[in-house]
Structure 1
Amino acid sequence: MTDAAPRPGGTAPARVLTVAGSDSGGGAGIQADLKTMLALGVHGMSVLTAVTAQNSLGVHGAWELPEEAVRAQFDAVVGDIGVQAVKTGMLSSAALAATVAGLLGGLGPGVPVVVDPVGVSKHGDALLAAEAVETVRTRLLPLATVATPNLDEVTQLTGVTVQDEDGMRAAAEAVLRYGPRWVLIKGGHLPDADRCAEAVDLLSDGRTERWFRAPRYDNRHTHGTGCTLASAIASHLALGHDVPEAVGLAKEYVTGAIAAGFPLGAGIGPVDHGWRTR
């Protein structure tokens, strides 16, 4: 049920590294990333940047790891195992964002990087310090093969407020000015989106644009969608797809995961990363 070809016994799958925070509730963050990677047939590895006390009701606490711990995790994985794609998520502070940017800059152009510029949780809790936004803009986005902001993150990064699909074009132009090769503007937070039949995203490299549309499901259990989508893109890039193909396949995967999202706890439940095997 993935696009990964069967491997001879004893051979290693494609390797994808996530650099992100932990969600103790298991719906987003590192946990969602690794579940996505497993579902798509790649070997997921992790660099933990922060620990959150989190459940279906929100984020109840967050603690950053020291910069040296982040650097040591990254060096241990890259130096021995190697990576074929990297995805970044919650980076929390300017210091951690700068540390991660420095590490990614040493990978070279052959390793695609998917930057999910996580600003707030699904529940509205801040996951990126205000003073870190400039570091993400100027140091991390220029390293991105694909950046995947939602509309709130577009506003946080660029000041552009999006009201409709034409506004998504302006948002893409604004984000691309910071240097990513491609940007995927996620339209799930468009005004009146809940009354629309489709969920729409825009992929652009400044020269061409591609619109990705999928059915919108009446399901409030959507915790982890952004992490899941970015990880799916990174996984498909590691499997050899180009950016538009990787985004299309990732959109298909996350749409199915949203459709299968389930209640968990008293609040917003997660998407179902294993929906293809149910």
Structure 2
Amino acid sequence: MKHCLTIAGSDSSGGAGIQADLKAFSANGVFGMSVITAITAQNTQGVFDVQDVSSSMIAHQIEAIFDDIRVDAIKIGMVSRLETIEIIAKTLKKYSLPPLVIDPVMVSKSGYNLLAPQAQKALIEFLVPMATLLTPNIPEAEVMVGYKINTLALMKRAAEDLHTLGCTYVLVKGGHLEEDATDVLFDGESFYCLHVKRLETKNTHGTGCTLSSAIAANLAKGMRVKEAVEEAKAYITEAITHGFALGKGVGPVHHFYALYKKAGIKE
């Protein structure tokens, strides 16, 4: 079995963050491990508080994993402050790294800032150049490139600009466009567009975390980036299709729909 590590924040409601990452790892056939960077108080209605984990504790978590267990792929999600980004980059550079997927989590669906403004530059400077794949959604890409993105052509332009930051591949996710949700994958030379009909549902909590983790799982299993993204896109589409109501707000995607179906558990 392959082993995947997520470095991200905890979601107390279980739909996003570390919890979604571990579910996506399991659903895609790899063993999940975690380094927690922050603890959030959140539910389906929003994020209400964040407490960052100390830099030394983040470093010790990473070291504890790498000094004992083979890591076949890494996913980095919520890294909310400058000190967190610096210690992750410093600690990871001590090791020979496997494929690394960065999901640049900046703002929650409810509008809570999950990445301090002063940390945005550090993310670009220290972590993005280490990435095999960068997976921003449109609002995140807009922050990173500094202009509005509202067409497929501008998504491609943004992918080109983001690629110059040093990552090997860029996947600009199109879920925020008004038309069908088209994602753009760019390898520095060629574009590959993944077209999927928009799904009309409000239960999309954890979508970005889940997709990036599924990609990391597929890379750990030896897939090439394009294949890893295609397979992960199919997985997240099914998970969104079968997302379910939970609490009073935005429900989660269904990470284990295929397993529940096989077990005869009704939605």
TM-score range, shorter chain: over 0.9
**Is 2:104 aligned against 1:117?**
yes
Report how far residue 88 of structure 1 moved: 0.2
**Is 2:139 aligned against 1:152?**
yes
Instruction: Tell me which of 243, 254, 272 is aligned to 2:225.
Output: 243
SS for the counterpart of 1:80 is coil
Report how far residue 98 of structure 1 moved: 1.1
Q: Within 2, Cα distance between the matches of 1:39 and 1:107?
A: 27
Report how far residue 163 of structure 1 moved: 1.0
The runs of at least 4 aligned residues of structure 1 exceeding 6 Å deviation read none
User: What fraction of aligned residue pairs are identical, expressed as a percent?
Assistant: 45
Q: Residue 105 of structure 1 contacts residue 143 of structure 1 at CA under 8 Å; is this kept in 2?
A: no
Q: Within 2, Cα distance between the matches of 1:104 and 1:156?
A: 25
**TM-align CA RMSD:** 0.9
**Is 2:76 aligned against 1:128?**
no
* Residues 193-223 of structure 1: per-residue CA shift (max 9 Å, x gap): 2xx3x31100001201111112221111000
* Residues 53-111 of structure 1: per-residue CA shift (max 9 Å, x gap): 000000010000000110011100111012000000000101101111122223325x1
Instruction: Tell me which of 178, 199, 213 is aligned to 1:217.
Output: 199
TM-score by length of 1: 0.92
**Is 2:37 aligned against 1:45?**
no
**Is 2:48 aligned against 1:66?**
no
SS for the counterpart of 2:67 is helix
Q: Within 2, Cα distance between the matches of 1:250 and 1:99?
A: 29
SS for the counterpart of 2:123 is helix
SS for the counterpart of 2:244 is coil
Between 1:16-25 and 1:202-211, the stretch displaced more is 202-211
In the alignment, what sits opposite 1:24?
12
SS for the counterpart of 1:19 is strand
Instruction: Tell me which of 190, 194, 205 is aligned to 2:187.
Output: 205
Q: Within 2, Cα distance between the matches of 1:243 and 1:104?
A: 21
* Residues 137-166 of structure 1: per-residue CA shift (max 9 Å, x gap): 111100000000011111111202101000
In the alignment, what sits opposite 2:128?
141
Q: Within 1, Cα distance between the matches of 2:49 and 2:244?
A: 24
SS for the counterpart of 1:137 is helix
In the alignment, what sits opposite 2:248?
266
TM-score by length of 2: 0.96
Report how far residue 186 of structure 1 moved: 0.3
Report how far residue 124 of structure 1 moved: 1.4
Q: Within 1, Cα distance between the matches of 2:129 and 2:158?
A: 16
Q: Within 2, Cα distance between the matches of 1:211 and 1:30?
A: 28
In the alignment, what sits opposite 2:264?
none
Q: Within 2, Cα distance between the matches of 1:124 and 1:263?
A: 20
The residue type equivalent to 1:115 in the other structure is: I
Structure 1 portions without partners, runs of 5+: 1-12
**Is 2:212 aligned against 1:230?**
yes
Q: Residue 104 of structure 1 contacts residue 143 of structure 1 at CA under 8 Å; is this kept in 2?
A: no
Alignment of 1:178-197 (within 5 A): 178-190=165-177, 193=178, 196=179
Number of residue pairs aligned between Structure 1 and Structure 2: 260
SS for the counterpart of 1:21 is strand
Alignment of 1:74-93 (within 5 A): 74-93=62-81
Structure 2 portions without partners, runs of 5+: 262-267
Report how far residue 255 of structure 1 moved: 0.4
Q: Within 1, Cα distance between the matches of 2:255 and 2:56?
A: 32
Q: Within 2, Cα distance between the matches of 1:215 and 1:276?
A: 20
The residue type equivalent to 1:231 in the other structure is: S
SS for the counterpart of 2:110 is coil
